[in-house]
Structure 1
Amino acid sequence: MDHHIAKAPDAPPTRRDALRVAAGLLAVGAVPLTAPRAVAHSHDADVCTGGYDAEFETALAEAAAQFQAEWDRAGIPERPPGRYTLPLRRGFRVSARYGVRGDWLAGHHTGIDLAVPTGTPVYAVASGVVILARRSGAYGKAVTVRMRDGHYAVFAHLSRIKVRPGATVRAGARIGSSGATGRATGPHLHLEIRSRRRYGSDIDPVRYLARRGAPLL
């Protein structure tokens, strides 16, 4: 993780951030992580209650566009994704699975909710760059990482954010702590994987990680 960025976690990215990312992406690696196991399954507590978060989506779109423009100018080469890990290292309870039908704008739950006590360490699932690290509406305190394969990982409802926009992270690097910020009924990690930046491009996090050697369940 880049420890030399001085901006606050919710500050927008700067040209200096993007150029730092260009250098970091050439050097970042990854480490494996043994899978914790879900200890129970529930759908009645510790879940997301929010829908489409316009504030979050606008901020993410602006940050992603700015970073992409800088990467293009810097001529960053494509690199293999590297190894994948899991977002938690302790037992958790699946409080809401991906794809559950509901009142979300997408028509279904766009991630998976993993119930753990507030303050549980949360880790990056793959090497990449932090595009957004801030508090918004429904997602609460959230970190978005653009992974090397072009997918985006969103870690939401955190109690604490430990990375800053522009930081490069390795798989298994701590990015924050679980919580219940935003629209949530209790402490949990909402993990969302998007094939593209925009809302509605979500895919099943369990299948995504399992196919890359990191079985979540």
Structure 2
Amino acid sequence: MRAGPVASVLAFMGYHIDSPREAGSTRRDVLSVAAVLLAGGAFTVAGPAPHAAAETDGGCGIGYDGEFEEALAEADEAVPENRALAPEGPRGKFTLPIRRRFRVSARYGIRGNWLAGHHTGIDLAVPTGTPVHAVGGGTVVLAAWSGAYGKAVTVRLRDGHYAVYAHLSRISVRRGSRVGTGDRIGRSGATGRATGPHLHLEIRARRGYGSDVNPVRYLARRGARLL
């Protein structure tokens, strides 16, 4: 199958769904992606394709958000790695982000009109105000309004991955703070580009857009079964 313009640009930038590289983390990378896509008339910032949107009720239309990616890169570089955090073992040290019954309103990887070509996280539909917990310990690198992600918390995990908790109604942690597995980081909501109250959980192998991994598999391999 011939790659579309979005996939071609991601490949050019070095991104791959199955084996992500260190994603673009500087202003230059952010502007490069936008410039290449604009030149080809293929720049799409947000919103799933109609068939993907039909699957979501309490889901999101998160796409590439340059302002968020730039803010995340700057914040990550400003918050030093916390060496007081001992590495966690491969199993038994992670937990689920939601501790009540939820419904999956958008699966990871569904195809759509996102810059990555697929949904980069998993959407868990829950009522507004549901407590959201850290799936693993780490350092908060960004806890603020995050464009299409709404009120969001991004945690640099001990293993080098990044967990993004999006569309929160309330944030309970501060940038630079340490969080342990299971700590409450906020409450669910529908802020940003959302069709209803839910948690968008995104796990990235690196901090930048395009390095996402399957959150269900990631957690399962660490002893926390989301589904």
TM-score, normalised to structure 1's length? Answer: 0.76
Q: State the alpha-carbon separation in 2 of the partners of residues 81 and 57 from structure 1.
A: 27
Equivalent in the alignment of 1:87? 97
The residue number in structure 2 matching 1:152 is 162
Task: Identify the match of residue 99 of structure 1 among 75, 89, 109.
Answer: 109
User: Identity of counterpart residues, as a percentage?
Assistant: 71
For residues 5-154 of structure 1, what are the structure 2 equivalents within 5 Å? 43-67=55-79, 70-71=80-81, 76=83, 79-82=86-89, 83-154=93-164
Partner of 1:11: none
Residues of 2 paired with 1:161 and 1:153: CA distance? 15
Asked if 1:197 corresponds to 2:225, the answer is no
Q: Structure 1 residue 78: deviation in Å?
A: 7.3
> 1:138-217 residue pairs with structure 2 within 5 A?
138-217=148-227
Q: Distance in 2 between matches of 1:164 and 1:88?
A: 20
Residue 30 of structure 2 corresponds to none
User: Cα offset for 1:45?
Assistant: 1.0
Q: TM (normalized to structure 2)?
A: 0.73
Q: How far, CA to CA, are the matches of 1:136 and 1:63 in structure 2?
A: 12
* Superposed CA offset, 1:134-179 (max 9, x none): 0121000000000100000000000000000011000000000000
Give 2:87's aligned amino acid. P
What is the aligned partner in structure 1 of residue 16 from structure 2?
A: none
Structure 2 distance, partners of 1:60, 1:45, is 28
Aligned Cα RMSD in Å?
1.5
Q: How far is 1:43 from its partner? A: 1.8
Secondary structure in 2 matching 1:57: helix
Taking a change above 3 Å as real, the CA distance of residues 50 and 78 of structure 1, as seen in their structure-2 partners, is closer
Structure 1 segments unaligned to the other structure (5+ residues) = 1-41
Q: Which residue does 2:43 correspond to in 1?
A: none
